[in-house]
């Protein structure tokens, strides 16, 4: 009888442990290893959580590894990180070109280009591979999460986490609730955000949410000021940094975000909301056509050296 009670206590103990662990996010898969994907992986791994990064082919995957390594090396040169921290971060990141491994992960973050059809395809495929309790996150800044959610069998587990660049340094993340997102999903993701050192701000689905909707008109207006010859790029940025205590001026900020991404945001907001303040400045379209996409290509509104510093 005593032995039976002990076994029952053991069983109850295990059940309680399992319940306590329910909803805890122990590992994360990231789809897309561009600038944002790398930054998200860096942030999560630095918080002690295992990460799987998936890219579309070996060439893009190898470039992502190299880019992340170089980014962290620049931080080491600035004494912001140590070599042992870099080793620790990379030890927690796995790299893959196949989606099949996502079945082992508690949270999946999609961080590909702002292309609704592409995101829809990815979410649909992930839905057939992932555990039924796995939460799907999109890093979209302008597209409809509700429409994305409806391509899956788990709309209640779809949520947006809009990280800002550079992800490891910006302490904010927007948690975007779609029409179907459950309160349980929101609470789990809020806990996860806190665990990786981010302050979550809850927003409801709307084109541009808070940060993108507010920043895009500023970036666009700065570009028009440049186009009209009112001031140079450097003087525009200096005026905003010193006059309004911005860490970066709007044109440098656009270069950091990627001018192709900024243009995609503007086009989506212009198409969705139809307001002139979102109509992209011609100078932005010209730079994107010329593939001068900002810091990531070495030239945008400014020219950059191999360390990503502006060349005066």
73-88 tens-digit pLDDT: 999 998 999 999 999 9
Contacts of 5 (CB under 8 A, 6+ apart): none
**231 & 200 share domain:** no
Tell me, what CATH number does 249's domain have?
Answer: 1.10.1040.10
Tell me, what CATH number does 102's domain have?
Answer: 3.40.50.720
E runs forming strands in 44-98: 50-54, 93-96
Residue that finishes a domain, picked among 162, 188, 204: 204
Enclosing H/E stretch for 63: helix 58-77
**26 & 90 share domain:** yes
Contacts of 206 (CB under 8 A, 6+ apart): 213
Residue 9 within a domain? no
**269 & 126 share domain:** no
What is the pTM for the complete model shown? 0.83
Residue that finishes a domain, picked among 153, 171, 204: 204
**197 & 63 share domain:** yes
Helix axes 282-289, 259-273, angle to 10 degrees: 130
109-157: per-residue pLDDT in tens?
Answer: 999 988 899 999 999 999 999 999 999 999 988 888 999 999 999 999 9
Do 24 and 103 contact (CB within 8 A), yes or no? no
**185 & 105 share domain:** yes
**154 & 24 share domain:** yes
Q: Is the pLDDT of residue 57 over 90?
A: yes
Tell me the residue range of the domain where 255 lies: 211-297
Q: In this predicted model, which residue has the larger pLDDT, 107 or 80?
A: 107
Residue that finishes a domain, picked among 150, 182, 204: 204
pLDDT at 3 (0 to 100): 45
Calculate mean pLDDT across residues 54-82. Answer: 94
164-183: per-residue pLDDT in tens?
Answer: 988 999 999 999 999 999 99
């Amino acid at each position: 009888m005593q032995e039976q009670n002990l076994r029952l206590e053991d069983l109850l103990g295990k059940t309680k442990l399992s319940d306590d662990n329910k909803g805890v996010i122990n590992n994360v898969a990231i789809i897309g290893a561009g600038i944002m994907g790398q930054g998200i992986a860096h942030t999560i791994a630095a918080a002690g959580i295992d990460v799987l990064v998936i890219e579309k082919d070996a060439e893009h995957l190898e470039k992502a590894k190299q880019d992340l390594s170089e980014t962290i090396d620049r931080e080491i040169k600035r004494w912001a990180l140590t070599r042992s921290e870099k080793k620790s971060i990379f030890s927690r990141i796995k790299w893959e070109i196949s989606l099949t491994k996502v079945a082992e992960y508690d949270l999946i973050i999609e961080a590909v280009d702002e292309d609704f059809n592409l995101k829809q395809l990815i979410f649909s495929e992930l839905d057939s591979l992932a555990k039924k309790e796995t939460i799907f996150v999109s890093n979209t800044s302008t597209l409809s999460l509700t429409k994305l959610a409806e391509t899956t069998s788990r709309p209640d587990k779809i949520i947006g986490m809009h990280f800002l660049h550079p992800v490891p340094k910006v302490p904010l993340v927007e948690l975007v609730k779609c029409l179907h997102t459950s309160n349980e999903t929101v609470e789990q993701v809020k806990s996860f955000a806190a665990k990786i050192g981010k302050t979550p701000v809850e927003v409801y689905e709307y084109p541009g949410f808070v940060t993108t909707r507010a920043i895009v008109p500023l970036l666009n207006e700065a570009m028009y000021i440049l186009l009209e010859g009112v001031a140079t790029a450097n003087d525009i940025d200096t005026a905003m940094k010193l006059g309004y205590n911005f860490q970066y001026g709007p044109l440098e900020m656009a270069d950091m975000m990627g001018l192709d991404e900024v243009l995609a945001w503007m086009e989506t907001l212009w198409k969705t909301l139809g307001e002139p303040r979102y109509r992209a400045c011609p100078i932005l379209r010209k730079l994107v056509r010329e593939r001068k996409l900002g810091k990531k290509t070495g030239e945008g509104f400014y020219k950059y050296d191999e360390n990503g510093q502006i060349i005066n």
